[in-house]
């Protein structure tokens, strides 16, 4: 996995390549965030970059604003792309299936299946989807003691290919207590040239002693509806923001009529999309990056993020929250959209 193939996580990707380039890689990291938002994909891209023989540096002009990425071509990258690198070790929750059962099962029994799943879902498949893929929907998967033994043994061995050894533990919160304690030993006495990446969606069930020994990387959530948002929403949003920037009353009023003709659910979905877009612009602007969202309008993609700064982001966020609340409470759509428009227009002037 290269960073360029992970959607809308440029800020985190740039943070990760910078950690590696500056030599500040910690032996253990915790990637905290939703798998669907790319946490596992980022962990794999991170390991690939770490072991790449020809890292690419873009001086800020990489795809989607990436500062650097792995080459995708060297022998190490090629094996990483196929998830077949012998120094990449993947661990994940599993349960007995109709074919693989018995006391002695371990993650080793499901490696092929797990890679198939990762490829099928572009490394962003959720835990539920994995259980469905394994056909164990009604069972609870777990990462077992046997897997911890395997991690300790594997990381203690010499690397096969001369580079760093990497163990990625996906859904690390699914380690039982014995497993977690064994892993803890490994974190306390790291073997040189090894990297352990814990990928988790929540730290609620993780040992605090484990969390405290990791370098935390928070993965930003990308809302689901957002990836599949319609062209109509994109175009409505671009038109709206342009009108508000210049506050053209005649065209704004026509725009509000268009929105008012839609169902409440559509109105609400649109507002959620617009609010998320504003947040995204703010994050990109703060990091000096172009927008992560393609609005189908190059000029808008490039110039709009600069309008959202720390001086107006909160005003905008509050205005959206109140408008969404009003729509949910059956307020008159025309008034809700008009009022929101004025508030946004005012906020944009404060940038
Ligand atoms: Zn490479």
Q: Compute, in angstroms, the gap from residue 9 CA to the centroid of ligand 1.
A: 20
**Per-residue model confidence (pLDDT) at position 225:** 47
- Is domain 3-218 given the CATH code 3.40.50.300 in the classification? yes
Q: Compute, in angstroms, the gap from residue 332 CA to the centroid of ligand 1.
A: 56
Q: Which DSSP string do the residues of 290-345 spell out, in sequence order?
A: --SS--S-HHHHHHGGGG--TTTHHHHHHHHHHHHHHHHTT--HHHHHHHHHHHHH
pLDDT tier, 60 (very low <50, low <70, confident <90, very high otherwise): low
Q: Compute, in angstroms, the gap from residue 88 CA to the centroid of ligand 1.
A: 15
Tokens of 73: 């071509």
Backbone angles phi, psi at 166, to 5 degrees: -130, 130
Mean pLDDT of 282-305: 77
CB 36 within 8 A of CB 124: yes
Mean pLDDT of 97-121: 93
* List of residues 6+ apart from 38 with CB closer than 8 A: 6, 7, 8, 9, 123, 124, 219, 222
Q: Compute, in angstroms, the gap from residue 48 CA to the centroid of ligand 1.
A: 7
Tokens of 169: 């533990």
CB 35 within 8 A of CB 201: yes
pLDDT tier, 292 (very low <50, low <70, confident <90, very high otherwise): low
**Which of these ranges, 75-79, 157-161, 209-213, 257-261, has the smallest mean pLDDT?**
157-161
Mean pLDDT of 18-38: 92
CA distance linking residue 348 with residue 335, whole number of Å: 20
Q: Compute, in angstroms, the gap from residue 135 CA to the centroid of ligand 1.
A: 35
CA distance linking residue 58 with residue 70, whole number of Å: 11
Q: Compute, in angstroms, the gap from residue 49 CA to the centroid of ligand 1.
A: 7
Residues with CB under 5 A from ligand 1 (ion): 52, 70-71, 74, 77
Q: For 245-262, how does the pLDDT look when each residue is reduced to its tens digit (9 = 90+)? A: 888 889 999 999 999 999
Tokens of 101: 């059962």
DSSP 30: E
Q: Compute, in angstroms, the gap from residue 7 CA to the centroid of ligand 1.
A: 20
Residue 159 has pLDDT above 80, yes or no: no
Q: Compute, in angstroms, the gap from residue 203 CA to the centroid of ligand 1.
A: 32
Mean pLDDT of 265-289: 85
**Per-residue model confidence (pLDDT) at position 289:** 62
Q: Compute, in angstroms, the gap from residue 17 CA to the centroid of ligand 1.
A: 13
CB 216 within 8 A of CB 32: yes
pLDDT tier, 274 (very low <50, low <70, confident <90, very high otherwise): very high
How far are the Cα atoms of 66, 187, 339 from residue 24, in angstroms, in the given order? Answer: 19, 17, 49
CB 95 within 8 A of CB 176: no
Q: Kindly calculate the radius of gyration of the chain based on its CA atoms and give it in whole angstroms.
A: 23
Question: What percent of the chain clears pLDDT 70, i.e. is strictly above it?
Answer: 96
Q: Compute, in angstroms, the gap from residue 16 CA to the centroid of ligand 1.
A: 16
Q: Compute, in angstroms, the gap from residue 67 CA to the centroid of ligand 1.
A: 15
Q: Compute, in angstroms, the gap from residue 320 CA to the centroid of ligand 1.
A: 44
Residue 337 has pLDDT above 90, yes or no: yes
Mean pLDDT of 167-189: 93
Provide the 10 A C-beta neighbour count for residue 341.
22
Q: Compute, in angstroms, the gap from residue 174 CA to the centroid of ligand 1.
A: 32
pLDDT tier, 291 (very low <50, low <70, confident <90, very high otherwise): low
**Per-residue model confidence (pLDDT) at position 18:** 93
* List of residues 6+ apart from 297 with CB closer than 8 A: 238
pLDDT tier, 102 (very low <50, low <70, confident <90, very high otherwise): confident
Q: Compute, in angstroms, the gap from residue 52 CA to the centroid of ligand 1.
A: 4
pLDDT tier, 279 (very low <50, low <70, confident <90, very high otherwise): confident
**Per-residue model confidence (pLDDT) at position 33:** 92
User: Which stretches within the chain are classed as H helix?
Assistant: 10-21, 39-51, 75-81, 111-120, 127-134, 145-156, 177-188, 208-211, 224-227, 231-246, 249-260, 264-286, 298-303, 313-328, 333-349
Residue 117 has pLDDT above 50, yes or no: yes
Q: Compute, in angstroms, the gap from residue 75 CA to the centroid of ligand 1.
A: 7
**Per-residue model confidence (pLDDT) at position 137:** 74
Q: Compute, in angstroms, the gap from residue 4 CA to the centroid of ligand 1.
A: 13
**Per-residue model confidence (pLDDT) at position 294:** 76
Domain spans of the chain? 3-218, 225-349
Q: Compute, in angstroms, the gap from residue 69 CA to the centroid of ligand 1.
A: 9
Provide the 10 A C-beta neighbour count for residue 184.
16
């Amino acid at each position: 996995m290269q960073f360029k193939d992970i959607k809308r996580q440029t800020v985190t990707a740039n943070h990760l390549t910078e950690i590696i380039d500056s030599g500040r890689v910690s032996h253990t990291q915790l990637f905290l965030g939703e798998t669907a938002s790319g946490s596992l994909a980022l962990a794999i891209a991170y390991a690939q970059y770490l072991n790449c023989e020809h890292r690419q540096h873009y001086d800020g002009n990489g795809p989607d604003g990436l500062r650097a990425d792995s080459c995708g071509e060297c022998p190490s990258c090629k094996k990483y792309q196929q998830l077949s690198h012998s120094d990449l070790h993947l661990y994940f929750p599993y349960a007995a299936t109709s074919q693989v059962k018995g006391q002695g099962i371990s993650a080793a029994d499901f490696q092929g299946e797990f890679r198939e799943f990762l490829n099928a879902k572009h490394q962003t498949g959720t835990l539920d989807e994995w259980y469905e893929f394994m056909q164990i929907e009604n069972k609870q998967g777990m990462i077992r003691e046997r897997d911890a033994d395997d991690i300790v043994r594997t990381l203690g061995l010499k690397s096969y290919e001369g580079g760093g050894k990497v163990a990625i533990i996906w859904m690390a919160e699914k380690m039982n207590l014995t497993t977690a304690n064994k892993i803890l030993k490994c974190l306390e006495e790291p073997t040189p040239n090894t990297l352990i990446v814990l990928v988790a969606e929540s730290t609620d069930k993780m040992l605090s002693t484990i969390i405290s020994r990791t370098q935390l990387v928070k993965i930003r959530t990308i809302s689901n509806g957002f990836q599949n948002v319609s062209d109509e929403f994109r175009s409505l949003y671009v038109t709206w923001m342009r009108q508000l920037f210049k506050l053209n009353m005649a065209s704004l009023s026509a725009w509000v009529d268009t929105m008012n003709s839609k169902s409440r659910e559509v109105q609400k979905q649109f507002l959620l999309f617009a609010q998320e877009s504003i947040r995204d612009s703010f994050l990109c602007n703060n990091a000096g990056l172009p927008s992560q969202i393609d609005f189908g309008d190059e000029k808008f993609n490039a110039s709009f993020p600069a309008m959202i700064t720390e001086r107006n982001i909160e005003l905008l966020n509050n205005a959206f929250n109140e408008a969404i609340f009003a729509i949910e409470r059956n307020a008159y759509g025309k008034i809700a959209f008009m009022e929101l428009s004025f508030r946004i227009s005012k906020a944009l002037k404060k940038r």
